Amino acid sequence: MRGMRRTLIAGIAASLLVSAAGSAAAQDEGPIKVGVLHSLSGTMAISETTLKDVMLMLIEEQNKKGGLLGRQLEPVVIDIASDWPLAAEKAREMYEVNGVDAVFGCWTSVCRKSVLPVFEELNGLLFYPVQYEGEESQRNVFYTGASPNQQAIPAVDYLMNEEGVERWVLAGTDYVYPQTTNKILEAYLQDAGVAPEDIMINYTPFGHSDWQTIVSEIKAFGSSGKKTAVVSTINGDANVPFYRELGNQGVDAADIPVVAFSVGEEELAGLDTSPLVGHLAAWNYFMSVDTPENAEFIETWHAFIGSEERVTNDPMEAHYIGFNMWVGAVEKAGTTDADAVIDAIVGVEVPNLTGGTAVMLPNHHITKPVLIGEIQDDGQFDVVWETEDLVPGDAWSDFLPESAVLEADWTAPINCGNYNTQTQTCGGAQAAAN
Amino acid sequence: MLYVAPLWPAGHLSRKGGDHSFLCRIRTITVLAKRTACLISPLAGEMAGRPEGGAKERSPMSLFAGLLAFILLALAILPAHAQSVEDLVRQLPDGSFSDRGRVVQALAATGDARIAPLLESLAAGDLNVIEETGRIVTTSGRGDTVTATDALTGEEIGEVASAGVERIRVNNSLRRAVRTAVGQLTLMSPDAGTRMSAARAMFQAANPDNVELLDEAIAQEENPAVLQIMQEARAVAILRSDAEPAAFAEAVDVIVARGDRQALGILQAALSSADADVTPTIDAGISAIQRHLQLLDVGQNVWYGISLGAVLLLAAIGLAITFGVMGVINMAHGEMVMLGAYTTFVVQNMIRASFPELFAWSLAFALPAAFLVTGLIGIAIERGVIRWLYGRPLETLLATWGLSLIIQQAVRTTFGASNREVSNPFWMSGTFDFYGIAITWNRFWIVIFALVVFAGLLFVLKRTSLGLQMRAVTQNRRMASSMGIRTPWVDAMTFGLGSGIAGLAGVALSQIDNVSPNLGQGYIIDSFMVVVFGGVGNLWGTLVGAMTLGVLNKFLEPYAGAVLAKIFILVFIILFIQKRPRGLFALKGRAVDA
């Protein structure tokens, strides 16, 4: 009898589901809306405007191919004006007013953190395209930029092995991404046998423009006879005066190389790079990478933006990968429904622009190659080293003792963003956000 | 290490039990050839998997082999030389960076005169390889075909398809190898400048193997400055070898005399390998250098403070007019600075396009242009907005803040959100040394410029009729008006002057900061701070305020870090204003209450 009842309930539930799906399908006539949530004004506009443009281009290209599930895509662009509480408001507006099915957006970690609760509450999808500090994995977010093990750690390895660096300056802007990354790097370097007095950590405010003291401190730190390098997590506008001061004070890349995690082709556009030749950047993509996919992407970009001068950069590739993964997952699921897409997207493979394949992992990070490039005098990077294999993104750093035991896995049966492998318990979303 | 085999018969033989130290000792071969043999044979020894010490035992057999090696080398040196350089050059593109660094070393060891320029163009990234033939070339021209020239012989090859030409990659470690190699090769160049950089390279990459080469160079050297660097390079090389105590002590003296931070690092490193009787000398040297450096640090910080003060002065001085003299809280002041910087960008672009020969003096054209552009915009803002709001500070604040947002977004729409490139002219790049204090040229000129602008403004206020009218209007508007002064016109001119000076500041700031729509935002708070701290309405107060804050900030920064230093300064100003609400130099008398 009881079994009878159970099948009955299951049957009713199933039929309800089917009808729900049917009605959903009925509603889903008309275009699929894709949210683009970037700052088009304020301090972050410098970086994010390009990402908005690349999203419009990707959507246009997809529409040329006949759209998605037979429907056209329609971009919904909202400016968040470099204002993070506003970003949360606008994310809500995207879902509740505009009815988008997925959102591509944010640049800074603080933006991501402030919109997270909205996506969680409304069960949305956010594709976040920028390298970040890790220590996070959320069911509704897909991290298509690099986590520290896909950028910072390989860069430090390169300097240690190829350049023989023994003394390290970790210089960053004073906020969450540099602080967390430097914490991980410090632990990693000390594990590798670097003495604490051979590590100098320095933070500067946002938009710092007077680098005289710090550059001379770096010079002094680097004159001890041990090979010294600077690992820079300096963000945004502060980079141009920093590199200018380096050039003017005659810090030669052959003596003290600077490897940067936030400086790409776009940031170098406002700079005469001839005094900077040889300084390094670690990314997962460079415009100079010579592959047919990349050549096509650059050509499409130039045609779309109407200028041969415009450069492409790593977060643009991340949007390219993220968008194609979302398209792949929607096609696989046959619907734009968030739960179905979240289930379908794990394992989706799309080609990246540097000649490999990106796979969405269960922790909502992706596999990436790591490239080390040296700045050239034309403002481009020349790849001097790359990882042999693709590096899977790690949500929780293996080099921080409290994070090393954590794993993120959004597939059954774990379904958790911060699963403790020792206690075999899930820490919950709150812990993940901290 | 394939490259060793075809080139160096001596290397071959020494592998079969040859004695490379024997070769090294043969005096008849020139220094370079000797260096080569010494350089190559340990490599060969490594290749054979034999510990290096093995070469020290000298059996009759190995003596014979060594002799044979010498004869073969002597016979082969001319033809093999020509052959080997070509072959070595062909190996430049392939292999790991460290292997290629060894190719560079081997190339330098050939002593061929063509190698130094070749290596320099390698480091500059100008060398290419034609994939089909493996020939190393430099190319000129752009497009589908380029004109190739053989990099070694200078022979013209003609047009080749650019798809078949690949640039040879260099990284920092290879650049270092090139720098050392070029240093070795050009140490006896006829040009003193080249010798100087060669000596510096030898100092950077000091290596005990180079002592003899340096000795020879020192014996020939006549230029005292170059000679000094060479002797320092030799001293470092000796400190890194296991030299006799006498030579060691002598080298320590040379390095102590150098007395800079690098010297300190070298001495600290030498401490570990020094004999007990030299140790006190090194210790004394280290502490002498440290004392000297501490003194220099103070001087350096004063200079940094002055240069930061000059930037603050430039940013604030226009505000000292609009806020200080007129009492208008102008939140759009920073945007005037930004517009001045963008004017520089536009002027530089026009000059680059039309009169490239004048480019070095582009800033001279940008200054009047920026002054005019921002001055006119200032007048328009005064006439259009501010004159309706006199006596209503809160509304003025809001209106000008709104204006600042409008101007920012307008610039963003016109020029794009990303940074624009404004170049430093050659006379604003690099550093010069002032009694051990490194002074960058761009900061130096900005300090001079700030003082000139300050003096010019004082002149306008004190010595011209416009200045007289401005002061009259500020002190007593109604009285000035009754005396026949057109006060609205004076208001507009004053605001225009303040804005124009902000534009001039923008030209200067474009040389050290980003030219982006956000440029002004970074300076507005600092500017207000300087004007309020210095005393509203007093130009000298602005000067002293800017310099004080600059120097204070730079002395705090090394101890507290940049973030805390900024906070301390803010706290300091808050406390200071509590004590002296009118700032450092308060205006006295009736004008204050007017």
For residue range B457-507, list pLDDT tens digits in order. 999 999 999 999 988 888 888 898 999 999 999 999 999 999 999 999 999
Does B95 have pLDDT greater than 90? no
Which residue of A41, A83, A248 is the best one to mutate when testing the B interface, meaning the one whose CB has the most B CBs within 10 A?
A: A248
Q: What is the mean pLDDT of residues B573-579?
A: 92
State residue B527 phi and psi, 5-degree precision: -65, -45
Task: Write down the mean pLDDT value for chain A.
Answer: 88
With contacts defined as CB-CB under 8 Å, which chain A residues touch B308? 210, 212
DSSP-based three-state secondary structure for A206 = coil
Distance CA B382, CA B494 (A): 9
In a 3-state reduction of DSSP, which class is residue A237?
Answer: helix
State mean pLDDT over B341-365.
92
Average pLDDT over residues B430-450: 90
Query: Taking 80 as the threshold, does the pLDDT of residue B456 lie above it?
Result: yes
A403, A427 Cβ separation under 8 angstroms: no
Read off the pLDDT of each residue in B412-429 and give the average, rounded to a whole number: 86
Q: Is A352 helix (H, G, I), strand (E, B) or coil?
A: coil
Predicted confidence (pLDDT) per residue in A95-143, tens digit: 999 999 999 999 988 899 999 999 999 999 999 999 999 999 999 999 9
Q: Which CATH class is domain A152-260?
A: alpha beta
Of A220, A269, A385, the CB nearest to B418: A269
> Looking at per-residue confidence, does B180 or A286 come out higher?
A286
Q: What is the pTM of this model?
A: 0.79
Bridge partners, B165 (sequence order): B130
DSSP-derived 3-state class of residue B147: strand
Chain A residues touching B438 at Cβ < 8 A: 216, 249
Instruction: Find out whether the peptide bond into A413 is cis, omega within 30 degrees of 0.
Output: yes
- Cα separation, B214 vs B221, in Å, equals 10
Domains A32-147+292-368 and A152-260 agree in fold:
yes
Q: Is the pLDDT of residue B25 over 60?
A: no
- Determine the residue of chain A that is closest to B204 in CA distance: A255
Is the dihedral angle over the CA atoms B558, B559, B563, B568 positive or is it negative? negative
Cα(first)–Cα(last) distance of chain B, in Å?
86
CB-side exposure of A333: number of CA atoms within 13 Å?
21
- A170 φ, ψ (degrees, to nearest 5): -105, 105
Q: Which fold has domain A32-147+292-368?
A: Rossmann fold (3.40.50)
- Indicate yes or no: CB of B514 within 8 angstroms of CB of A257: no
Q: Which residue, among A278, A214, A281, has the nearest Cα to A245 in the 3D structure?
A: A214
Q: What is the pLDDT of residue A52?
A: 96
Q: CB A270 to CB B420 under 8 A?
A: yes
Specify the higher pLDDT residue, A34 or A431. Answer: A34
CB within 8 Å of A13: residues ≥ 6 apart: none
Q: Are A53 and A305 in contact (CB under 8 A)?
A: yes
pLDDT at A206: 83
**DSSP-derived 3-state class of residue B223:** coil
State how far the Cα of B261 lies from the Cα of B412, in Å rounded to an integer.
Answer: 45
Asked whether the beta carbons of B539 and B457 are under 8 A apart, the reply is yes
Q: What is the mean pLDDT of chain B?
A: 82
Say what percent of chain A tops pLDDT 70.
Answer: 91
Mutant choice from A44, A83, A209, A262 vs B, greatest count of B C-beta within 10 A: A209
Q: List the single residue in B125, B173, B420 with the smallest CB-CB distance to A163.
A: B173
| Cβ contact A212–B269 (<8 Å) | no
Q: Where are the domains of chain A?
A: 32-147+292-368, 152-260
Q: Do B169 and A384 touch (CB under 8 A)?
A: yes
What was the pLDDT predicted at B167?
A: 83
- Chain A: nearest CA to B70, how far in angstroms? 36
Under the banding of pLDDT at 50, 70 and 90, the label for residue B54 is: very low
Mean pLDDT of B42-64: 45
